[in-house]
């Protein structure tokens, strides 16, 4: 039985991870869970799964949770970043599933790696901001980085048994988000509620906005470089509205291998947790005859400039990707609070990159400083 710790158990991926655990009670034990501030749901999860540890990032919410836990439940309650790091490196866990959103996931992930824990990674920002550092640490401590994103899981599965040196191209698929087919003039005055309506996937608010701008795909391009050791020139993005082919790998002999499945995040989550094995489940099966048609098109980089900006940061190297990520986090938050418009997101990201003094081969401390600088730059820029 694998013992797991879940960072972000109350978010979309975290909740679906617990669905996987429910369906595989003989395979997994939840040792620890965490949330930022959603203590009501966290309490429900504690009562059902009876973890030994829980971490709440927000200190006030942590105190609230402590007062809510029934006396018959024996659990250690931790708080803040130290709490997240503690439940990420527990001696008794085998796998850390990091479903937390944002730069906040970096330090706990590194802590887990340095304690020899395999990582089921759903936190994009960890590799976007510190890809070289994280992958070097994983190699040093002989740790598996198991991708949970459906696209990277698809590539990971396609490469099972293959040689990385025989990869010619990685092809990431994108649904196109809620605004596929629209032009810039159509999107000048769209609202957050329109941007949150993803056609195929059930995701958290931040990731849904990233999908609407195609920044989500840009972050995945950056991740793919580090996960699979390929050059950015060898990573393509193709829009596939049906979200059935989750990604593809083209090999040097011209073969293209694809992983297909219904759009259900539970599948890549389960594969990451059961790897190198597979497990029976009752997930919806794909009926290709019923589906009938799969279509593909190139992304519109004029309408969705965030994808191009992500490629630009890989081309420029250094800490540009970290600056891009932090700027995007702030801007998405501002957009969700109706403080800026849709196209203010790529506009201020570009301004941040223009102002950034990049650092080659940064240390962890330098990456954290870039994160702080980028957030402050954006906040000062938008007033």
Tens-digit pLDDT profile for residues 293-342: 999 999 999 999 999 999 999 999 999 999 999 999 999 999 999 999 99
Would you put residue 161 in left (φ > 0), alpha (ψ -120 to 50) or beta? left
Share of the chain above pLDDT 70, in %: 99
Domains located in the chain, CATH noted: 2-147 (3.40.50.720), 152-316 (no CATH), 317-383 (1.10.1740.10)
And the tokens for 327?
Answer: 């700027």
Positive or negative CA dihedral for 331, 366, 313, 230?
negative
Rounded Cα gap, residues 250 and 257, in angstroms: 6
Phi and psi (nearest 5°) for 2?
-85, 135
pLDDT value of residue 85: 97
Residue 29 has pLDDT above 80, yes or no: yes
Enter the pTM of the model: 0.94
- Give the model's pLDDT for residue 201: 63
pLDDT tens string 196-224: 987 766 677 888 999 999 999 999 999 99
> 73-93 pLDDT, tens per residue?
999 999 999 999 999 999 999
User: Burial level of 252, CB count in 10 A (0-12/13-18/19+)?
Assistant: exposed
What pLDDT is attached to residue 381?
97
Torsion of CA 308, 310, 316, 318, to 10 degrees: 170
pLDDT of 202 reads: 63
Task: Check if the beta carbon of residue 255 is closer than 8 Å to that of residue 5.
Answer: no
**DSSP per-residue string spanning 177-219:** GGGTT--GGGSTT--HHHHT--SS----HHHHHHHHHTHHHHH
Taking every pair of Cα atoms in the chain, the longest distance, rounded to a whole number of angstroms, is 63
Average pLDDT score over residue span 282-293: 92
**Average pLDDT of span 12-31:** 94
The two tokens of residue 191 are 């609202």
What are 62's two structure tokens?
């942590």
Q: Is the peptide bond before 317 cis (omega within 30 degrees of 0)?
A: no
- Residue 8 has a pLDDT of 96
CA distances from 377 to 12, 101, 105, 323 (A): 30, 21, 22, 10
* Beta-bridge partner residues of 4: 30, 95
At 352 the pLDDT is 98
């Amino acid at each position: 039985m694998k013992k797991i710790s879940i960072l972000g158990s109350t978010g979309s991926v975290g909740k679906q991870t617990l669905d996987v655990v429910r369906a595989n009670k003989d395979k997994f034990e939840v040792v620890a869970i965490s949330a930022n501030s959603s203590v009501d749901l966290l309490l429900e999860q504690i009562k059902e799964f009876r973890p030994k540890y829980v971490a709440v990032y927000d200190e006030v919410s942590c105190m609230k949770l402590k007062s809510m836990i029934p006396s018959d439940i024996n659990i250690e309650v931790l708080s803040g970043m130290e709490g997240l790091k503690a439940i990420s490196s527990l001696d008794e866990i085998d796998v850390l599933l990091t479903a937390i959103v944002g730069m906040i996931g970096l330090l706990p992930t590194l802590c887990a790696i340095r304690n020899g824990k395999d990582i089921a990674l759903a936190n994009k920002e960890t590799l976007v901001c510190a890809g070289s550092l994280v992958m070097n640490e994983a190699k040093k401590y002989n740790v598996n980085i198991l991708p949970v994103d459906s696209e990277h899981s698809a590539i990971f599965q396609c490469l099972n048994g293959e040689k990385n040196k025989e990869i010619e191209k990685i092809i990431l698929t994108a649904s196109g988000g809620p605004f596929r087919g629209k032009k810039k003039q159509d999107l000048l005055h769209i609202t957050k509620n329109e941007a949150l309506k993803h056609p195929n996937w059930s995701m958290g608010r931040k990731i849904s906005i990233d999908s609407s701008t195609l920044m989500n795909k840009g972050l995945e391009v950056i991740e793919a470089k580090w996960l699979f050791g390929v050059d950015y020139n060898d990573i393509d993005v193709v829009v596939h509205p049906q979200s059935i082919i989750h990604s593809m790998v083209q090999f040097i002999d011209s073969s293209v291998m694809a992983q297909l499945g219904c759009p259900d995040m539970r599948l890549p989550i389960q594969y990451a947790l059961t790897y190198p094995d597979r497990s029976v489940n009752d997930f919806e099966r794909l009926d290709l005859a019923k589906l009938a048609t799969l279509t593909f098109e190139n992304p519109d980089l004029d309408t969705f400039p965030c994808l191009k900006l992500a490629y630009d940061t890989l081309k420029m190297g250094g800490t540009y990707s970290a600056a891009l990520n932090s700027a995007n986090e702030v801007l998405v938050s501002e957009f969700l609070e109706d403080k800026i418009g849709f196209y203010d997101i790529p506009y201020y990201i570009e301004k941040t990159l223009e102002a950034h003094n990049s650092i080659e081969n940064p240390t962890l401390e330098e990456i954290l400083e870039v994160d702080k600088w980028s957030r402050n730059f954006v906040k000062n820029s938008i007033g």
